[in-house]
Amino acid sequence: MEKSIFTRRRLLGGLAFSGAAFVAARCALSDTGERFPERRAVGDVVGLDPAFRDPAPNIILINCDDLGWGDLGVYGSRAIKTPNIDAMAAQGVRFTDFHACDSVCTPSRAGMLTGRYPKRMKLDFPLHSKDTSLIKEMVFRAGVLTNNLGLEDSGGEGGADGLNEFELTLGEALRQRGYRTAMIGKWHLGDYASDPTFNPLNHGFDSYLGVPHSNDMTPFPLYRGLEKIESQIADISKLTGLYTDEAIEIVEQNSRDKKPFFLYLAHTFPHRPLAASEKFKNKSDGGLYGDAVEEIDWNFGRLMETLRQKNLLQNTLIIFTSDNGPWYDGSPGELRGRKGQTFEGGYRVPLLVRWDGHIPRGQTCDALSMNLDIFPTLLNVAGITLPKDRVIDGRDLMPQWLSPKAKTEPRELFYYHQGELESMRCENWKYVQSVNHYIWPMPVNRKLGVLSVHTTGPLPMLFDLRNDPGESYNLAGRYPELVAKFDASMNRWRDQLKRDPFGLVASV
């Protein structure tokens, strides 16, 4: 007899409009009793490579919110014009098979900043403010229960309230090399209004201007450092320009001080609700979504012009990406699926990298990679050793940045949804073992994979992305040996996390 799948998540699917029951269930899942490892001094975790002789470059990491793989001109968009971002591709390397480590906000950002799968941090879901009305949010999202409701059920394994102090961020690591670190925009790694320990200032950033979470959550305040400067942002259309003004000020200040800087700029858009300032509203062929993206592009051009005027382009590494695929609007290009799903359209995102004089111009790289790789790559760029007291899941991408066409070692990437391991990539193969997307009032039958909106078909599914990038043709029946191989890989990964959930190195 098939094992029952009547889980807590299934129960919540039927209680989607029962606010009291939902809150009670969510609170009961907030703690597993497991203790995070003790924090260690950053200097005891990472060190400076004694062989490093080059001047440390400035680093700008730009992360958009819900920008799809097909939303930029250089990735095929015809409705949205992004000339400034497209120009970056001509001046650097464009990745064609780069992925977020989750298809929703919080876990993706946690993984990018630490180089570790968010499962190790127990950050599986988009975090909410403690003051957020969950009933109000459920009403707001009632029309999209099949996609990304954001229900914080932990799948029976508990969840964290934010980024734990044990985790080492890019900001903390780069400080060891003398970087001045700044964070601008959307944080979404803990409600620092209720618990200041989650504020970016306590996770490696010297300065911070931004918002705690997504713009569809209430309240939606604006902070400078630990100070709340707006309790509820009255005009969200100002944010892209405001963030860029702050970024330009940081660049100008550090150009005077002659000190290397790390700037993490996390845009609020094109996450819904969408907004664009008057200069860009109703200007694109991509609707309000396109307007918001074109405003990001124009402001990106402003930032690049500032770097040029300050003669900083030669020694500034610039990275442009997105936290996951598009939500309602936006384009995943030719890929199947969207935000909140483990199909390629939810996970695969743009990645553009420019570093004049170091990275070749106008190249594309097809190497399978993930935003977990940004952490070890930037530590290498700055001459900083990797932590030895924890597992780093990312891989150094510097060889691909320097030689985009060079052959890479095979690797496996694992895709989660709502805290459950659903699928994986290995070279050109995509294997989907299960689907746990739920619709009200009934959950998906995982064996049949039945969905009312996004029909998956019988499981498991195996796709050859080299010939079928849209994940349209299930080859599981043709290649049972690959199904067995990938089942074994996923089970082995689950076992590893069960034995060592936080990813600690036993020798330390």
User: What are the φ and ψ backbone dihedral angles of 316, each rounded to 5 degrees?
Assistant: -130, 125
Q: What pLDDT was estimated at residue 132? A: 63
Mean pLDDT of 339-352: 97
Residue 269 CA from chain centroid, whole number: 14
In sequence order, the β-bridge partners of residue 415 are: 423
Higher local confidence (pLDDT), 149 or 43: 43
pLDDT of 158 above 60: no
Told to judge if 213 belongs to the known catalytic residues of this protein, a careful annotator would answer no
Q: 410 is written with which tokens? A: 């095979």
- pLDDT level of residue 136 (50, 70, 90 thresholds): very low
- Of the pLDDT bands very low, low, confident and very high (cuts 50, 70, 90), residue 256 is confident
Share of the chain above pLDDT 90, in %: 78
| Catalytic, out of 99, 105, 213, 417 | 105
- The structure tokens listed for 86 are 């497209």
pLDDT exceeds cutoff 80 at 13: no
**Catalytic one of 128, 188, 203, 213:** 188
pLDDT at 2 over 80: no
Confidence of residue 436 (pLDDT cuts 50, 70, 90): confident
DSSP 322-350: ESS--SSSS--TT-S--TTSSSHHHHB--
Does the pLDDT of residue 139 top 60, yes or no?
Answer: no
Cβ contacts of residue 28 below 8 Å, gap of 6+? none
Is the model's pLDDT at 234 over the cut of 70?
A: yes
Confidence tier at 144 by pLDDT (50, 70, 90): very low
Q: Is 27 a catalytic residue?
A: no
User: Residues 364-382: what's their mean pLDDT?
Assistant: 98
What pLDDT is attached to residue 487?
98
CA distance 128 to 130: 6
- Say what the pLDDT of residue 54 is: 87
Task: Summarize pLDDT for 191-203 with one digit per residue, the tens.
Answer: 999 999 999 999 9
Are the C-beta atoms of 261 and 183 separated by less than 8 Å? no
Residue labelled with tokens 């290995």: 426
Which are the contacts of 490, defined by CB distance < 8 A and separation ≥ 6?
A: 414, 421, 424, 431, 433
Q: Residue holding tokens 């509820």?
A: 232
Q: What is the pLDDT of residue 418?
A: 87
Cα–Cα dist 392/35, whole Å: 20
pLDDT at 246: 98
CATH number of 42-48+59-146+154-316+374-406: 3.40.720.10
Containing 306, the helix (H) or strand (E) segment is helix 287-309
**Domain extent listing, the chain:** 42-48+59-146+154-316+374-406, 413-499
pLDDT at 134 over 80: no
**pLDDT at position 123 over 70:** yes
pTM: 0.88
Q: Which of 121-135, 139-153, 200-214, 494-508 has the lowest average pLDDT?
A: 139-153
Residue 328 has pLDDT above 50, yes or no: yes
CATH class of the structural domain 413-499: alpha beta
Average pLDDT over residues 207-230: 97
| Per-residue model confidence as pLDDT tens digits over 274-324 | 999 999 999 999 999 999 999 999 999 999 999 999 999 999 999 999 999
Q: Burial letters for 404-440: b for 16+ Cβ neighbours within 10 Å, e otherwise?
A: beeebeeebbbbbbbbbbbbbbbeebbbbbbbbbbbb
pLDDT category of residue 450 using cuts at 50, 70 and 90: very low
Lowest mean pLDDT among 9-18, 80-89, 229-238, 417-426: 9-18
Neighbours of 452 (CB within 10 A): 9
Task: Give me 346's structure tokens.
Answer: 């939810």
